[in-house]
Amino acid sequence: MAEVSVISIGAMSFNELWGEREPVRTGHATTCLIRASDAVIVVDPGLPAVALEARLGERSTIRPSDVTHVFLTSFRPDVRRGIELFDQAEWLISAAEREAVGVPLASDLKRLAEAGELEDDAEPESRQIGEQLKSEVALLQRCRAAPDSLAPGVDLFPLPGATVGLTGLLIPSNRGDLLICGDAVPTAGHVELGRAPIRCADAKLARESLREAIEIADLLIPGRDNLMVNPVRRLFSGPSLSSGSSL
């Protein structure tokens, strides 16, 4: 059975449940560590590499070089900020998210090239945008389309809506089925209120994914919060599980 730990608890740049409507803090995704068979998987490396390496050392005995795979639930920048810390690992993302992100990125880069905006004599701002697009394309190309199962007992679970191809991970544990949700379920508050994220590509799909997550999983790891017991399928009572807790 896979062992799952929360390495770093994420944060929303703004939380609509608190009345916020624009960024008031630096957002970053909750980062998880999964050990299953021979696989050592980091999910959503949202912190900068230096900070994430420190968290990994605080919450586990795993070194960055031990990580075999990195899985991104989406391609949002604050979900993948520290991914280069795991340069020796295989980078994975769902095929749906990869395609949904890749097509517009390639189109934008082609448009800039055809307009001459990538040339040395182009405006500095245009060249800067072009370099950023090139970096995004290169990073996405490095991310392989993930198979249906990353390791025994670690299965992809599509949760579209927040982004077109957002995909979580469903993992059986000794306390019930655990779902790593990504931004399909941002925080415990969204679960308690049955509220889908306001920042999403498709509001209807986001609501359906939230409902499906709540219906299927006994334990949830929201995209910007700590491990929680599903209040709808509560299996036990007692104190909350802390970050770094393993299942």
Whether residue 247 lies inside any domain: the answer is no
d(CA 80, CA 137): 14
Q: What is the span of the domain harbouring residue 111?
A: 96-142
- Over the stretch 133-158, which tens digit does the pLDDT of each residue have? 888 999 999 999 999 999 999 999 99
Residues 58 and 166 in one domain: yes
What letters, b where the CB count within 10 A reaches 16 and e where it falls short, cover 189-215? ebbeeebbbbbbeeeebbbbbbebbbe
pLDDT, mean of residues 102-124: 76
Check if the beta carbon of residue 71 is closer than 8 Å to that of residue 150. Answer: yes
Long-range contacts at 87-91 (CB < 8 A, ≥ 24 apart): 88/64, 89/42, 90/144, 91/142, 91/143, 91/144
When divided into structural domains, the chain yields a total of 2
Whether residue 199 lies inside any domain: the answer is yes
d(CA 179, CA 154): 10
- Amino acid making up residue 87: D
Whether residue 216 lies inside any domain: the answer is yes
Residues 115 and 226 in one domain: no
Whether residue 245 lies inside any domain: the answer is no
Whether residue 86 lies inside any domain: the answer is yes
For residue 239, pLDDT over 60 is answered with no
- Over the stretch 58-75, which tens digit does the pLDDT of each residue have? 999 999 999 999 999 999
- Over the stretch 79-90, which tens digit does the pLDDT of each residue have? 999 999 999 999
Residues 133 and 209 in one domain: no
Whether residue 193 lies inside any domain: the answer is yes
Residues 184 and 87 in one domain: yes
Percent of the chain with pLDDT over 90: 77
Residues 81 and 122 in one domain: no
**Range with the poorest average pLDDT among 48-57, 80-89, 106-115, 179-188:** 106-115
Q: 122: Cβ–Cβ under 8 A, 6 or more apart, which residues?
A: 116, 130
- Over the stretch 177-189, which tens digit does the pLDDT of each residue have? 999 999 999 999 9
Whether residue 242 lies inside any domain: the answer is no
d(CA 243, CA 50): 19
